[in-house]
Structure 1
Amino acid sequence: MSKPKVLITRRWPVSVEKKLQQLYDVTLNHDDHPFSADELKQALQNYDAVCPTVCDSLPAEVLNVANKRCKILGNFGVGYNHIDIAAAKQQGLMVSNTPGVLTESTADIAMTLLLMSARRGAEGDRLVRAGQWSGWCPTHMMSSDVTGATLGLIGFGRIAQSMARKAHHGFGMKIIYFKPTPADPSIVTDLKAIRCETIEDLLPQCDYVSLHCPGGNDTRHLINQSMLNLMKPSAHLINTARGDVVDSKALIKALQEKRIAGAGLDVYEGEPNIDPGFLSLENVSLLPHLGSATIGTRTAMGEKVLENLAAFFAGEALPDRVA
C-alpha cells in the first residue's frame, strides 16, 4: 500500500522532517523558499496533505482550485488567519493547528520586547556597536521602570496568561486585561487580575499594553490612531500577536510624535515587508517574528502536526481541528 503524499511548505526541525520521511511520501522544501500562489494551488492538486505556515497565504481563490487532491491542511502554527477557514470548510478541507506548545516561548518574547522597549535595549545596543558610547553618566539613556508598573493585556488566552504570570510573579506588575467574558476565577485570583469592560477602559490605565488577540478581519487595525491616543504618553505597546492588529501608519506617527513612549514588535503588517517608517525610529524595538523560535517549541509544533496527520489518515478525530 502506497504512503500518503505530504508536502511541507517550509523547512522544519530536522528530527521532525526525518519522521515525516519515515511515515509518508513527503516532499520537503529543501531551499526553504516561500511558496507562490501557483505553487500552493499545484500542491493542493498533487498531495493528500499540505502543511502550511503563517507565510503561506491560502485565500479562497487558492483553496478553490480545480481537481483538488488534498483533504487536510496541517498548519504549522497556532494562528491560522492566513487560511480562509470558511472556504476550507466549503471545499471539505480539514484544517488543524498547533495550540499549547508555543505558549511559554511566545510569552517569553513578549516579556523580552517589553523589557527592551522599557529599558531602551535596542537603542543602547546600536549605540555601543556604533562606537558612540562615551561612558556612564547619571542622566544617560534614562528609561522606564517595569517592576510594579501596570500591564494591560488585550486578549487573555494561554499566551497572555503566561506573560501575566511572568510579569506579576517576576516583576510585581499589576495585571489588567480585556476579554469579552471573565477569565477563570483561579487565574484571576492568582494574578490579582482586573478585567476591563472595554479596550477603551483599559488603555488609559496601562504603562505597558501587550496584544494577544487573533488576527483577521475582526481585529484588523484594532489598535488605530484613536486607540493610541488613549494611551499614556509614557506607555509602551507590545505586539507578538498578528501584525494586522495594529495600524502601522498610526503607530509610526504616534512614535514619531512621542504620543507614546515606545513599542516592541515581533509581527508586522505584510511581513516580511516592514513599513520603512519603523526603521528610522529609535523608540521601537523590532524582532523578526521570533515568538515560537526555540528548538524545543518548533519541534513540538512539528510533532503536533504529525499527531493530526496520523489521526486523519487513520480515520480518527483530529486532536487540534479548527475546520
Structure 2
Amino acid sequence: MKKKIVIAGGTGFIGQYFEEKFTNLGYEVIIISRQPHHLFWTDSVGIVDSLEGAEMLINLAGKSVNCRYNEKNKKEILDSRTGTTEILGNALLACKNPPPLWINSSSATIYRHAEDRPMTEASGDIGTGFSVEVAQAWEKSLFDFQLSQTRKVALRIAIVLGEDGGVMEPYLNLVRFGLGGVQGTGNQMFSWIHIEDVFRIILFLQSNEQLNGIFNCSAPQPITNRVFMTQLRKTMNRKIGLPSPKWMLEMGAIFMNTETELILKSRWVIPDRLEKEGFQFTFGTIGEALQQILKSSNKIQ
C-alpha cells in the first residue's frame, strides 16, 4: 500500500511546495482545504479516514495575516487557526491507527519585538498584542489534545523565502522600482528561512522520533532589514534603493490593505533546538538563499 501524508491548508505557497516534494518521494498526498477538488473541512468522516494509517499530519491552515487588523479579519485569523487545529485533534482522537507525528504551524512572531538579543525556545520572551495572542491560542489548541500515539510539534516559522510566492514578490517589486532601501529604521531584525529548509526540517522531525514540542523554524543567521535590502539589491544588480520611513509605510499599508507590523516588527529568532539536535541548513545565509531563489526564477537582471 502507498505511504500517505495529510497536509491541512495545503493549497498555499508552502503547502504546494510540500505536495510536490512528498509526491516525488512516492507519497500519496491528501490535502484538506476549503478549495474545490480537495477534502473539505466539513467532511469529518473523510478527515478521519484520510488520517488512518498516514505517516504524518502537517497543518498549515490559517487565513493570511496580510490584511488590515479590523475586528472581522482578526476573528477570521484566529478562528481559522484554532478551529482547524481542533478539527484535526478531534479527528486524530477518532482514529484507530493515527499518524505518529502531527506538525502544526505556529509563528515566530510569538516573541516580542527584539533588537537587544536573539530569542530561543528556552529563553525567548513572549510578546504582547494581537499577533502574539493568536500564536499563543494556536499552540494551546494543539497542546491541549492528549494523544497517546501521536507526537505533537509546533513549528514557530519565520518569514519563508522561496521562488513561487510568499513575501518575495513585494520585496522584489520595491527593488525594481528603486524603492529597495531600508524600511523604517532598518535596524529591525529579519528572521527568515528558505522553503527548502522548512521541508527538510519536516523530514528531520519525522525521522527523529524522540523530538516533540516547540521548535523555532528559522535560518541560523537572522539579519537586519538594512542588510536584507542591501543583499537583495546586490543580488538583483540594483545600486539605488530609496528608503521608506515609517510614516510612508503606514500610509502605504492602508492603500495596500495590510499592516506595517509585517515589515517593522523586529523578529530575532534562533533555531536553537534544531541546531542542538544536529540539523544542518542548506541555506544558512541570506546570500545563498537569494542567489538560489532569484536564479531559479530568472529574476537576476
Quick check: TM above 0.5? no
Q: Quick check: which has more Rg, 1 or 2?
A: 1
| Structure-2-length-normalised TM-score | 0.37
| Structure-1-length-normalised TM-score | 0.35
